[in-house]
Structure 1
Amino acid sequence: MADMIIATHHLPIFDNVKVKRFEFEPLSETAQAALARFMTLSPADLGPVSRHVFAYFQDRQDPDDALTIKTPEDVWAYVSPSAISVEPGDVHPDRWYVAVEANVPWEVEHGVHMAWENGTDIVRVGPVDGHISNVWAYDDDSLADVVY
């Protein structure tokens, strides 16, 4: 088995928060290109992601918890990215996915997992469960356009 590669990245999309990336092999040129595209995203690019993370919060929130998040834009104050990965496509092996794992107070056990296809297009928001798309998670091609 190859040695684990650990790299540190500052994510511009999350105000340059520092996270770790763990890999067992060096990234291919295509994977590096997806990561490079992701690194060009800014906090303004979280706009389309906000509603999905907010919906995840609403579905997972404990009714007895005092945590109140009123708008999709407010959800980011509670999202703490902790790791990034670059993974080959599950259904389309020619596509690469940049995935960010983050800690959130409403789902302490599973956190939140966000994946961007080819580093630019959000394709999945959900628990950290090893799936980079809902098609793969549920083995259902009809979920190709479902982010959360």
Structure 2
Amino acid sequence: MNKEIISKIIGRLKQEESFPDWWKSEEIAIPFFDNEKLTITFMDFEPEHDKTFIDEADQALTNFLKLNTDDRNLISELAYKNCMNFLDAVGFDEADEPLRQIKNKNEIWNFIQPTEIYVTRRPYNEQDIYVQIACECEWEQEHGLQLVFRQGKKLTRISDQDGHLTEADAYDKPDEEDELLSRF
């Protein structure tokens, strides 16, 4: 039997059968991606054990849904850098030539396709709420790309989809040594 929870921001979320601590919304227009419609999933959430999750997730989503393409363009340099670092690491492939020919860094978004948004609590340290956007991208077909926003406000990680919300968690280093997270 599937249960439901209610978000004041995105409405009804239905419990996933395969993952009972995942709760999925209907598709929502996302201003950050030109109002492209994506589902939002609350992950690792057990209502009986985390009484403040929905309110904190709603606040993070309120923050995130205020971000638009202008805000997205402010992080184009980081997305472009992620792409170029990957291409440099794997070596030349003719199929990557359109990426190498990008003149305006904002064009990088033409090569990134968001697929789903996850809202989850960081299991370590401050245990804040993070909004994580899973994306496919032209340069990293196997692991894709993720954009992670702490409290939905500010980008704190851009990387392949590796299951970690922060560089600090991924590489087991202190938060203050995590370049983007330490700026929050």
1:20–1:84 contact (8 Å) kept in structure 2: yes
Q: Deviations over 1:25-50 (max 9, x none)?
A: 46520111101110111110113311
Normalising by structure 1, report the TM-score: 0.88
1:66 corresponding residue in structure 2 = 97
Among 31, 44, 56, the alignment partner of 2:82 is: 56
By how many angstroms is 1:5 displaced? 2.5
Q: Which moved more, 1:84-93 or 1:123-132?
A: 84-93
User: In structure 2, how many angstroms separate the alpha carbons of the residues matched to 1:138 and 1:3?
Assistant: 26
User: In structure 2, how many angstroms separate the alpha carbons of the residues matched to 1:104 and 1:32?
Assistant: 28
User: In structure 2, how many angstroms separate the alpha carbons of the residues matched to 1:23 and 1:98?
Assistant: 9
Among 19, 29, 42, the alignment partner of 1:23 is: 42
Could you tell me which runs of 5 or more consecutive residues in structure 1 were left unpaired when the two chains were aligned: none
By how many angstroms is 1:3 displaced? 6.8
By how many angstroms is 1:4 displaced? 4.4
Is 1:77 the counterpart of 2:103? The answer is no
Is 1:36 the counterpart of 2:65? The answer is no
Q: Which moved more, 1:80-89 or 1:45-54?
A: 45-54
Among 92, 105, 111, the alignment partner of 2:126 is: 92
1:54–1:71 contact (8 Å) kept in structure 2: no
By how many angstroms is 1:71 displaced? 3.2
Q: Deviations over 1:83-104 (max 9, x none)?
A: 00111123311x2111101111
Among 1, 6, 9, the alignment partner of 2:28 is: 9
**Bigger RCO of structures 1 and 2 (CA < 8 A, at least 6 apart):** 1
Normalising by structure 2, report the TM-score: 0.72
Identity, % of aligned pairs? 25
Q: 1:136 to 1:44 in 2, by over 3 A?
A: same
1:19–1:82 contact (8 Å) kept in structure 2: yes
By how many angstroms is 1:2 displaced? 2.8
**What SS is found at the alignment partner of 2:58?**
helix
User: In structure 2, how many angstroms separate the alpha carbons of the residues matched to 1:23 and 1:88?
Assistant: 9
| Alignment length (residue pairs) | 146
2:7 corresponding residue in structure 1 = none
User: In structure 1, how many angstroms separate the alpha carbons of the residues matched to 2:173 and 2:72?
Assistant: 26
User: In structure 2, how many angstroms separate the alpha carbons of the residues matched to 1:146 and 1:117?
Assistant: 10
1:98–1:119 contact (8 Å) kept in structure 2: yes
1:133 corresponding residue in structure 2 = 166
By how many angstroms is 1:60 displaced? 1.3
Could you tell me which runs of 5 or more consecutive residues in structure 2 were left unpaired when the two chains were aligned: 1-18, 48-52
